[in-house]
Structure 1
Amino acid sequence: MTGTRRGDAVRAAAVLLAAVAQIAGSPLGTALAGRSVGEVSDATRSLVTPAGYAFTIWGPVFALALAWAVYQALPGQRDRAVHRATGWPLAAAFAGNAGWELLFPLAGDRLPVLPAVLLLAIVGAAATAWARLQHAPPAGLPRLLPAAVTGLLLGWVTLAAVVQVASAGVALGAPARGTAAQLWAVGALVAVAGLGAALVLVARVAAGPFALAVVWGLVAVAGAGGPGVVTGAALGAAAVVTAALGARAARRRERGALLVG
């Protein structure tokens, strides 16, 4: 086995192992801590914490990640440029998810800065894969799977990072309600809208999955039953990201790649 082939095999194995680990992470974290991610999240709930149903998005993310991990590990797929470009960043993101699922139930309310920093690292890894994906040549299924995974993952963790920072603030003693909390929440949602729209407007590939995940989370924030000003800001942010996707699709010839991958 040449050095290049050996490197491809190691990378493919790392992606597959990390994809499996993030599926096992949540039940293992619950077993170790004696409480779930949801229980800790409820105890440190902020005005930007989305309604519980929003977290079902992890199901499609994990399923797509596992499907791609298996596909890219096939001997005939390991040397594809798109898998080489996105493999290590996504392996890092998946492994980060597994670590976060262990860490948050154990320390999310006692040492809240640690899971917040880890989640920001996950955002960075997913963003790296996203950036590299934008320059990958059209290749059908080999690009579709990592594009769908990366778009959904980056969109969701972008919002989740804001939620995590807010949760950490509450755990450290910041007010969970009141005028100051509402101002912070609105500012955070405006930032998500701006960042989400900016990424959509410069994207060549997988803007659809990314926007879908961001909008899904924002609508769930609106549906969480918070103050009217926060609900309005969340719906407004969702509308901004949706409008950006529509504007980008109107100007882009390769709409399939943009909207799907």
Structure 2
Amino acid sequence: MGEVSDRTESLITPAGYAFTIWAAIFAGSLAWAVYQALPSQRGRVLHRRTGWPLALAFAGNALWEVLFPLIGVSQPVVPAVLLFAIVAAAALAWARVQDLRSAGLDRLLPTAVAGLLLGWVTVAAAVNVASAGVALGASATGEQARVWAVFALVAVAVLVSALVLAAQAAVGPYALAVGWGLVAIAVDGGPTVVTVSALAAAATVAVALGVRAVLRPDPASLLVG
């Protein structure tokens, strides 16, 4: 995947270290898979409401990891569309925990995993679209590329900030994953305008999170689950 990404690198491709977030996401998903299968957990509303969307999101990711190296250059639209489907599934799981009050492992597993996954794939979707554009012939450098890169970062900042301000639960992992990706884009060392825009986008999300936490009577449940 790294080789394909390098061939279609856009101005908003994050630094390589950013992808280590998958270690936390995968570890959380495996722990959740074991936890929800325990006899005491079967039939619980939390697992019933999040199980299928998260299963679809992770299955889609497994398929994406096969497709992207194979056709990421020749047919870049297909992996990009699949990634948006993953975003939709993760968003459904995250939305379904908004009106549930969780504690203990419920916070650390389906709730936090859904937030981390959605936050990261939101950034990844923007990056994948930009990479697909380069693969289809768009310039990876120049004024037009910088304009589109800034537009993508602004769009991510606006969308994520709106969701953070509207969230009722699990917003901490979500905002953390988005901020992680945006800062990694800045660290990658692109044009100054892109670096500044990525940092500004991350700061916008952080401010939205701070405002939402202040307005919330119980910030712990908002931030964690």
TM-score after normalising by structure 2 = 0.98
Percent of pairs identical after alignment? 69
Question: Given residue 44 of structure 1, which amino acid in structure 2 is its aligned partner?
Answer: T
1:83-102 equivalent positions in 2, closer than 5 A: 83-102=47-66
Match of 2:193 in 1: 229
* 1:103 aligned residue: 67
1:1-261 to 2 correspondences below 5 Å: 37-261=1-225
Cα deviations across residues 3-23 of structure 1 (Å, max 9, x unaligned)?
A: xxxxxxxxxxxxxxxxxxxxx
Counterpart of 1:60, as a letter, is A
Amino acid of the structure 2 residue aligned with 1:183: V
Shift of 1:256: 1.4
Work out which of the two has the higher radius of gyration on C-alpha atoms and give 1 or 2. Answer: 1
Structure 1: distance between partners of 2:107 and 2:40 = 14
Answer yes or no: is the 8 Å Cα contact 1:112–1:168 preserved in 2: yes
In 1, Cα distance between equivalents of 2:103 and 2:197: 39
Q: Is residue 126–residue 150 contact of structure 1 (8 Å, CA) maintained in 2?
A: yes
Q: CA deviation at 1:143?
A: 4.2
CA RMSD of aligned residues (A): 0.9
Kept in 2: contact 1:50–1:223 (CA 8 A): yes
Secondary structure at the aligned position of 2:124 is classed as helix
Letter in 1 for 2:187: G
Contact 2:101 2:221 in 1 (8 A): no
**8 Å CA contact retained: 1:82, 1:143:** no
Any stretches of 5+ residues in structure 1 without a counterpart?
A: 1-36
In structure 2, distance between residues paired with 1:80 and 1:254: 24
Higher relative contact order (CA 8 A, sep 6+): 2
Offset of residue 254 of structure 1: 1.9
Contact 1:104 1:115 in 2 (8 A): yes
TM-score scaled to structure 1, two decimals? Answer: 0.85
Q: Distance in 1 between matches of 2:17 and 2:222?
A: 27
Is the 8 Å Cα contact of residues 44 and 167 (structure 1) preserved in structure 2? yes
CA deviation after TM superposition for structure 1 residue 138, in Å: 3.1
CA distance in 1, matches of 2:171, 2:96: 14
Matched positions, count: 225
